[in-house]
Amino acid sequence: MMNNNGSKKVVLRFPQEVADRPIVCELALRFGLRFNILRASISPHREGIMVMELIGSRDRQEEGLEFLREKGVFVEPLSQDIRMVEERCYHCGTCVGLCPTGALSMERPSFLVRYDPAKCIACELCVLACPTHAMEALL
């Protein structure tokens, strides 16, 4: 049988009702996967967000991710990078309240929105929310 090993980075979003359950451990116990948690945080809406590198055979990775989806976890591939296109940003602040890590913040007293890529976990909440598409995910 082909041993198609590799690693894959994913963003996992745990809605509040599943955030307290230790389902991530099941990836190792049930599917023999190894994983590195690269970043984790809790959004203002109490949703858990985790960026994880999964290591194991492709088949096992897919089975493990399907298991998480069945448990109510949202699984998305990790974007390589998130960038702000500053000319498109009109500093409305919509993204600031959504960003779970503080990567987007409103500077005082100027009220200009600033983006700090070092704090970004690439969850893409801002990409979905920005009315002018000023936040972009680069794959």
Residues that bind ligand SF4 (CB under 6 A): 82, 89-95, 98-101, 103-104, 113, 120-126, 129-130, 132, 134-135
Q: How far is the CB of 60 from ligand SF4 (least distance, A)?
A: 28
Q: Which CB atom, from 75 or from 98, has the smaller least distance to ligand SF4?
A: 98
State how beta strands 48-57 and 5-14 pair. Answer: antiparallel
The strand pairing partners of 6, in sequence order, are 56
Q: Which is nearer to ligand SF4, 57 or 101 (CB)?
A: 101
What secondary structure does DSSP assign to 17-64, as a single string? HHHTS-GGGHHHHHH--EEEEEEEEE-TTS-EEEEEEEEEEHHHHHHH
- In the bound state with ligand SF4, the residue whose beta carbon lies nearer, of 57 and 94, is 94
Q: Which is nearer to ligand SF4, 64 or 100 (CB)?
A: 100
End-to-end CA distance of the chain: 31
Q: Which of 117, 42, 36, 54 is nearest to 80 (CA)?
A: 117
Closest approach of ligand SF4 to the CB of residue 69, in Å: 20
Task: Provide the minimum distance between the beta carbon of 135 and ligand SF4 in the complex, in angstroms, as a whole number.
Answer: 5
